[in-house]
């Protein structure tokens, strides 16, 4: 198309009905002016706290988010002026990586009144530093204050010995311990209270931005005006009872005595030092456990304060007599067997639990007759018994077994001899 011709057509289109088009522009301007006139454009100052949304699990924001300083908005003319609490500012962390690098995230502000339109927010973005949250155990360190004049400071006893630090990985990795600073009363009053634990790094500088669990440590420190030390025997404390059929045979403790220190008057009243309880509930074997000493308040041990308690647990034993039937083992079906007795008296010694099992069912003893030829034989009674059970007496200890071979001419329809004793199982009498 000819460029000149196209330009003429465009000019004709623009100037065609230009009065009508001009009137439309004027009308639109008037309408916009009316809309703006019907609303108030205002600015509300902050600070308005920026809240976090969609923070990934296992992460922590390590920096302080900047507040919203100012909001520009439109509201209906004559409406009550809003307050900072009528606005909610948030940042969405859905796409923020927890790598410890600062990221600028857009701030979104909404008004509680839907008639208010947000025009602008200052600042439009805030910096966010997101890190992974980790935890690790660290030891507790006790730092007592200066000792009052004329007072000896006893050994500190505290619990727990280890606490858990949780927070951003960069901060947690710096923590090497928690420090518990313990002020000492100049009047010499013993320390016995909960004190807050403070995370520190390798230089002893406090580490912030981490959580401590538990937050406090229970500390006991005796302050002694008349300090003495004394060796006292250790009393092992045992709780509970062994399983049925078992008993405690002996209790031993190592060491048998410990050296403790404290106020002279308090030490004079002590005759022994108890251990923490050692449980033997349901035990069927020996129990050995290292436990702490149950020291009275104000008394401390000069050593580790731990002892080993050993409890010997054995089965309860007794002697019982049983009536046992006899059973022939290894018999030849072609031979006939006769026994001098059909049962024996068996006196056994062993744990009650095993003897109770033997009493629960009929008892039989096998006589080994394998390979014996016809004739008269003395066979030793050898019972097979559970582990730990031993025979105290067997009466009789020998049983006469008579073995015969049936006559070849015997008439099966009219036998000439009565059947021999077979020594089969017989019910036993009660023990």
Rounded to whole angstroms, the Cα distance separating 277 from 271 reads 18
**Mean pLDDT, all residues of the chain:** 85
* Banded pLDDT at 17 (limits 50, 70, 90): low
Q: What kind and span of H or E run contains 332?
A: none
Residue-wise DSSP of 151-220: -EE---EEE-SEEEEEEEHHHHTT--EEEEEE---TT-PPEEEEEE-EEE-TTS-B--SEEEESSEEEEE
Q: In sequence order, what are the residues at sequence separation of 6 or more whose Cβ sits closer than 8 angstroms to the Cβ of residue 361?
A: none
- What's the DSSP call for residue 427? P
> Which residue, 431, 430, 427, is CA-closest to 342?
427
The side-by-side arrangement of strands in the sheet containing 50-53 is 50-53, 87-92, 108-111
pTM of the model: 0.47
What does the pLDDT look like over 171-207, one tens digit per residue? 999 999 999 999 988 877 888 899 999 999 999 999 9
Whether 326 shows a pLDDT value over 80: the answer reads yes
Residue-wise DSSP of 122-146: ESSEEEEEEEEEEEEEEEEEEEE-P
Q: Are 48 and 82 in contact (CB under 8 A)?
A: no
* Banded pLDDT at 303 (limits 50, 70, 90): confident
> By mean pLDDT, which of 100-114, 189-203, 219-233, 371-385 is the weakest?
219-233
How large a percentage of the chain has pLDDT more than 90? 59
What does the pLDDT look like over 57-114, one tens digit per residue? 999 998 999 999 999 999 887 778 888 999 999 999 999 999 989 999 999 999 999 8
């Amino acid at each position: 198309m000819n460029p000149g011709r196209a330009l003429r057509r465009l000019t004709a289109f623009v100037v065609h009905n230009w009065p009508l088009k001009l009137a439309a522009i004027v009308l639109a301007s008037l309408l916009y002016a009316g809309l703006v006139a019907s609303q108030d454009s205002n600015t509300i100052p902050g600070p308005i706290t920026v809240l976090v949304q969609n923070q990934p699990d296992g992460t922590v924001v390590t920096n302080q988010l900047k507040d919203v300083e100012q909001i520009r908005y439109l509201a209906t003319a004559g409406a009550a002026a809003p307050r900072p609490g009528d606005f909610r500012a948030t940042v969405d962390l859905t796409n923020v990586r927890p790598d410890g690098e600062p990221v600028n995230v857009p701030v979104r502000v909404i008004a509680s009144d839907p008639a208010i339109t947000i025009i602008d927010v200052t600042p439009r973005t805030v910096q966010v530093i997101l890190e992974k949250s980790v935890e690790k155990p660290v030891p507790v360190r006790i730092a007592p204050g200066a000792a009052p004049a004329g007072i000896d400071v006893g050994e500190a006893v505290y619990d727990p010995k280890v606490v858990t630090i949780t927070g951003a990985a960069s901060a947690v990795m710096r923590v090497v311990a928690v420090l518990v600073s313990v002020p000492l009363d100049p009047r010499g009053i013993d320390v016995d209270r909960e004190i807050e634990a403070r995370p520190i790094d390798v230089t002893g500088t406090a580490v912030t931005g981490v959580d401590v669990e538990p937050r406090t440590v229970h500390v006991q420190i005796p302050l002694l005006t008349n300090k003495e030390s004394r060796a006292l025997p250790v009393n092992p404390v045992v709780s509970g009872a062994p399983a049925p059929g078992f008993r405690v045979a002996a209790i031993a403790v190592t060491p048998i005595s410990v050296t403790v220190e404290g106020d002279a008057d308090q030490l004079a009243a002590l005759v022994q030092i108890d251990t923490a309880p050692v449980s033997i509930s349901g035990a069927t074997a020996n129990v050995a456990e290292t436990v702490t000493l149950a020291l009275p308040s104000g008394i401390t041990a000069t050593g580790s304060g731990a002892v080993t308690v050993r409890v010997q647990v054995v089965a309860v034993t007794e002697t019982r007599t049983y009536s046992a039937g006899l059973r022939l083992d290894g018999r030849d079906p072609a031979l006939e067997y006769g026994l001098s007795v059909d049962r024996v008296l068996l006196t056994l010694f062993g744990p009650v639990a095993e003897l109770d099992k033997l009493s629960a069912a009929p008892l039989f003893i096998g006589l080994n007759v394998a390979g014996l030829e016809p004739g008269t034989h003395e066979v030793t009674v050898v019972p097979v018994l559970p582990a730990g059970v031993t025979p105290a007496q067997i009466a009789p200890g020998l049983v006469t077994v008579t073995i015969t071979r049936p006559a070849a001419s015997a008439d099966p329809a009219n036998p000439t001899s009565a059947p021999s004793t077979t020594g089969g199982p017989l019910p036993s009498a009660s023990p």
